[in-house]
Each structure stands twice: as structure tokens, then as C-alpha cells.
């Protein structure tokens, strides 16, 4: 059985580009111990789509990125840009895992 190296969640929760969201998705997958194939099966997308999410997320429909993120336990919220620094500081106080928990295999 193939072992998955768990990656840390990014320290900065600000999603300025889709690759930032892809980093959270990959961290959620790896911390769950899921291979690309297992994550694809668990979320109902093709393995090639999971691979694209992690390597070239700008080629994946944003709706698909949001769906996979939700399926892997990554929450996304929006706030006014003038509150950006306050929100960043609050979320950084949560530590290196903004979800506050370890995910498990389905």
C-alpha cells in the first residue's frame, strides 16, 4: 500500500489565486492519508481531475474546485477586503491547521 506524506496547510488563508485553494485541497487530501486515486473515488471526480487540481488548478472549473474542497473538508468564506488583515491575524491564531482537526479516510 502506498503511503501518503501529510503536508501542512498553508499559513496564509488568503486565496488570491486558485493555486492557493489547490494548496489547501492537497493538504486536506494528504493529511487524510488519501492518494490521488482514493481522493478521486471519494469525491467522485476523475483521477486526472484531482491531479489537475493540484498541479494546474487554473485549468479546472472553479465549481469543481469548490466541490472537491468541500468534499475534503476545506471551508471557504468571503469577507470585505478592508477586513483582510484582521481576518488573516485571527485565522493565523488557529495554528498551522486552519481546520483545527485532522481529516480521516472515508
pLDDT tens digits for range 6-63: 887 777 667 778 898 999 999 999 999 999 999 999 999 999 999 999 999 999 999 9
Q: What CATH number was assigned to the domain covering residues 18-92? A: 1.10.260.40
Assign 94 a pLDDT band (cuts: 50, 70, 90): low
- Residue 72 cell numbers, joined: 475534503
Owner of C-alpha cell 465549481: 63
pTM of the full predicted structure?
A: 0.75
Alpha-carbon 64 to chain mean position: 12
**Where do the structural domains in the chain lie, given as residue ranges?**
18-92
The tens digit of pLDDT for each residue in 61-83 reads: 999 999 999 999 998 887 888 88
Amino acid at each position: 500500500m502506498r503511503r501518503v506524506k501529510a503536508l501542512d496547510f498553508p499559513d496564509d488563508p488568503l486565496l488570491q489565486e486558485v493555486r492557493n485553494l489547490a494548496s489547501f485541497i492537497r493538504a486536506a487530501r494528504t493529511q487524510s492519508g488519501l492518494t490521488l486515486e482514493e481522493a478521486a473515488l471519494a469525491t467522485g471526480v476523475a483521477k486526472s481531475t484531482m491531479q489537475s487540481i493540484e498541479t494546474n488548478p487554473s485549468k479546472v472549473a472553479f465549481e469543481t474546485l469548490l466541490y472537491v474542497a468541500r468534499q475534503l473538508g476545506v471551508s471557504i468564506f468571503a469577507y470585505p477586503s478592508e477586513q483582510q488583515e484582521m481576518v488573516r491575524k485571527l485565522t493565523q491564531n488557529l495554528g498551522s491547521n486552519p481546520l483545527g482537526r485532522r481529516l480521516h479516510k472515508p
